Each structure stands twice: as C-alpha cells, then as structure tokens.
Amino acid sequence: MINQRIGRPSTPRADRRNPAWWIVPLGLAGCLLIGFVMGVRQSPMMAAAMLGAGISVAWVALVVARPEFALLIYTVLAVNLNSIDLPVPGGVRLSPDILLTSLLIVGVALRALTMRRPVFSLPITAPYLIFLAVPMVTMIWSPTPVESMKGIFRFVSYYAIMWLIVDVIQSKEQLRHMVVALLLAPIIPILTSFLQAATGGGQTIWAGELFNRVYGLAGGPFTLAYFLVLLIPLVLIFLLESSPEDAGSGVWQFRKGLLALLLVGAGAALLLTFIRGAWFALVFAVLLLGLLRGSLRYRQLLLTIPVVAGSVLLIFSPALDRLEQVADPTSTLFGRIEVWKLAVDWITTSPLAFLAGLGMKSFEYFYILQAAPRIAGLYWRREAFLIGNRPHNEILGFWLDVGLIGLIAFIASLVIVIRQAWRIFRRSDDQPLQLFALAFIIGSAGILFGAMGDNVFSQPSVASYFWIMAGLIMAITRHMMPAAVQDTAATP
C-alpha cells in the first residue's frame, strides 16, 4: 500500500567519484597558496616552482581520474613540447615533454594499481619487453649510461601511452575525439613554421645555396617533416571520404573546407622543411594509398600526385635545387653512406655487439666520435653535429642500440600492430574504423620508408604519434571489433 501511494523508498545515491580526483583542487589550492606566500616573501622563482608543482599534481590526477581528457590534451600538444625548456632552480633546464611523459608514467602506474588493471596486457607486450630488456642489460657496460637510460625511458613512456589508450578508449565516440585531436595537432606547428618562413627564423643550412628549413615548435625540421608524413594521410583520407550524402549514416563528417585548408597547409610546411627523404616518403605513401583503396577518387591519386609534385618543382625552384644537390660531392647522401659503413664496422666488431648492440644511444654519443672526422664525410665533419646524431637509417640505428635480438623484437612489435590494422581495414563493417586503420597503415608505410634514410623513431614527437595511433589500433581491436576478429588478431 505504501509503495503504491508514494512509490519505492528512495535509496541514497552512491558517490562514484574517483578519490584521486580530489587531488586536483587540494593540490592546486595548496601549491598556489604556498607559492604565492613564498613568492611574495622570497623570490618569484619559488612561486613559479610551486605553481609548477601544482600543475604537475593536477596532471597526474587527470591521468588517473579523467584519462581521456589527459590523452586529448597530450595528443594536441605533444609535438610542440620539445622546442622549449623550462627554467629550473639551479640553472638546470627541463624539457616539458620529459616532465609531462614522466608524470604520465606515474599516473598510468597509479591508475593500474588503483583500478587493479594488468599492465602487461597489450598484444605487443612480449616482443616489446624483449626489446627493452636488451639495452637494460647492455647499460652495464655502456660508455654513455645516462643517455642509454634516457633512450630506455622514452620507450617505456610509449608503452605507458599505448596502455592508457587501450584501457580508456572503448567506444567509437571516444575514438572520434582522438581522431579530432590528431587532426588538430598539426595546426600550431604549421602556423609557427609559416612564421619562420616569413621571418627567416628557421634552421639555416648551406647546401650549395642557403636554405631556411622551418620546423615550427616541433624542435627540428626532421621532426616536423615526418610528423606531417604520418598525419597527412589521415587528413587526406577523411577529406576524400567526406560527403554530404553520408550524413546520418554513421560516417564521421568533418568540414571539407577545413580539411582541405589543413591539407594544403601541411603540404606547404612539409615542403618548406626541405627534408628530401620526407618528400619521397609522402609521395610513396600517397601512391600506396591509391593502390590499396579501390574507388576512383583514390585511383586518381596515382596520376594526381606525380602531376602535383612536378608542378611544385617547376614553380618552387628551391625545391628543385634541393633535389639536384643530392649529386653534389658535399651532399648529405655521401655522408650517410660513410656513416653507414662505420655503423656496420661497429656492429661486426664482436658477436656480442652483433647480437646485443653497443648500448642504447652509445653510437651517436660515443663510438661515432672515435672515428676521424674525414671518415664520416664532409657533412659530419663538425663534432658538435656528430654528438647525438644517429646513422640516418633506423635498421642500423636499432641494431647499434639493441643488437639483432632487440631489432627483431622491435620489428615483431611493428608487425603485430600493422597486422591488426590490416584486419580492421579488411574485415570491419564500420567505415570510420576502416578509414582510421587505413590512415595508420599508409602513415606507417611513409615513415618506415623514410626510416631507411633518416632518423624517424628517434624523434620523440614523431614516435609519440606513431605509438598513439598504434594504441588506438589495439583499442579498436579489443573493444570495437567482433570476437572472432579479436581472437585472430591476438595471434601474431
């Protein structure tokens, strides 16, 4: 009777808010208060340090309690974080990227502990751990243990990012948010690179003539160039697939005008980097796209791309001059060949070096300096340029870092992810999933092509976005594909 008259008795609603979320207001309030007091009484540097501590606490809490927002922020900003340093008391300068990724690793560890999630649950875990284990052992005798540790840290951070993506991104709507973040990421580098082109503020090199190579806030021309090679296919594919007729049919709709503007801007910025290897890599990737996708609009790329490339060379003479400079005796190509020979010599010095490498980053920070400058060719004559410079071939680079064992493990990790992307592209009935998988395949093909003659995976901003997209591929396979496809994708 009572229930019929007044309904069911109300039950108190449980508070489902994650306890870690309270760290944000408490941490910020406390640090801001202390920072303000200390700044007034002592120095502005102390106030800035406390403010930074508060932001750091907030970032860790965001990773733990609202990880999707943290991933979106990181995806939009990561490419810009290596171009500036933060002042730290004592005269030390700290990269925002290092700080952000360090705190991200802490946040991922806290999330895994509080949520009781298995850490070693990714499909690439086994080969990836083997890849990491080799430099951890060789660090014992590495002549550059600090640099080796930095290199290992980078790859640990990539795994943490992938783990967080697979743990959090479980729906197509979340995936769409991440794709939007990927599309937004090139905007700041493109705009700042145009500013450098207009003011002459890029990296100036002499290669037969003076070239002003732009890089925006990406940290360097190589970084910006291969970052764009990875993401231009994503922009191009969704531009070609955007159609008003598909509205309401489950196909993601983006404004074609904005995508076209982004594509033109990205292409122009890539051209102004004057990185020839990236130019060839993009042409290769887009031609591959024309072969893989059967519709006429994609087949037309096989004709359009050569025409566009030829027109650019005719209209923009510095690009043609840059290509012609390859045959010059002072060209970087001949310097690369000499360094490749030097790398092979070091790899074959002993069975241990052949199998386990010299130690992560030991070649570019120590062993290459043991050779006379003339051996490395004219391009590598300055010792300041030698330090920290890999051999411009990622197969040789990883062989030097982690030996044949680690190289095979790294390639196995790539193969597993690319196979998953291929299965999504071929077997999914959901067009947005197909298109993203295709964009990842094409972008990966481009940077892998470029990795044969340039440093790609050693560029944190490029590698971060590759592993972000790889994490999204694994998230699609786990959460958005039929069980039968998941089972086949789990077996390498």
Half-sphere exposure of 256 (CA within 13 A, CB side): 7
pTM here is 0.86
Question: Cβ–Cβ contacts within 10 Å for residue 103, how many?
Answer: 20
H-helix or E-strand containing 154? helix 145-168
Coil/strand/helix, residue 87: strand
> 424 and 307 in one domain?
yes
d(CA 350, CA 366): 17
For the chain, give the longest Cα–Cα distance: 98
Q: Which residues pair with 212 in a beta bridge?
A: 204
* Domain membership flag for residue 376: no
* Domain membership flag for residue 335: no
> 113 and 194 in one domain?
no
> 269 and 212 in one domain?
yes
* Domain membership flag for residue 212: yes
Coil/strand/helix, residue 186: coil
> 168 and 251 in one domain?
yes
Range of the domain at 66: 19-117
Coil/strand/helix, residue 30: helix
H-helix or E-strand containing 93? strand 92-94
* Domain membership flag for residue 218: yes
Closest CA to 149 of 361, 357, 404, 395: 361
> 105 and 159 in one domain?
no
> 160 and 69 in one domain?
no
- Cα–Cα distances (Å) from 476 to 132, 328, 424, 437, 445, in that order, read 25, 47, 8, 9, 20
> 419 and 272 in one domain?
yes
Check residue 377 and give its pLDDT.
45
Which class for 400: exposed (0-12), middle (13-18), buried (19 or more C-beta within 10 A)? buried
* Domain membership flag for residue 126: no
> 168 and 305 in one domain?
yes
Strands (E), 202-332: 203-206, 210-213
Q: How many domains does the chain have?
A: 2
* Domain membership flag for residue 396: yes
349's tokens? 């010095």
pLDDT per residue, tens digit, the chain (492 aa), is 434 444 444 444 444 555 555 555 566 566 556 555 555 455 556 656 666 777 788 888 888 889 999 999 999 999 988 777 766 655 566 778 888 888 899 899 989 998 888 999 999 999 999 999 999 999 998 888 988 998 999 999 999 999 999 999 999 999 999 999 999 999 999 999 999 999 988 887 766 677 889 998 888 899 999 999 999 999 999 999 876 665 555 667 788 899 999 999 999 999 999 999 999 999 999 999 999 887 778 888 888 888 988 898 889 888 888 888 877 776 777 778 878 888 898 999 999 999 999 999 888 877 776 765 555 444 444 444 444 567 889 999 999 999 999 999 999 999 999 999 999 999 998 999 999 999 999 999 999 999 998 889 888 889 999 999 999 999 999 999 876 455 555 555
> 167 and 95 in one domain?
no
> 420 and 473 in one domain?
yes
* Domain membership flag for residue 379: no
Check residue 382 and give its pLDDT.
44
d(CA 447, CA 226): 6
Check residue 205 and give its pLDDT.
74
* Domain membership flag for residue 157: yes
Check residue 11 and give its pLDDT.
46
Question: Cβ–Cβ contacts within 10 Å for residue 176, how many?
Answer: 14
> 323 and 249 in one domain?
yes
> 38 and 187 in one domain?
no
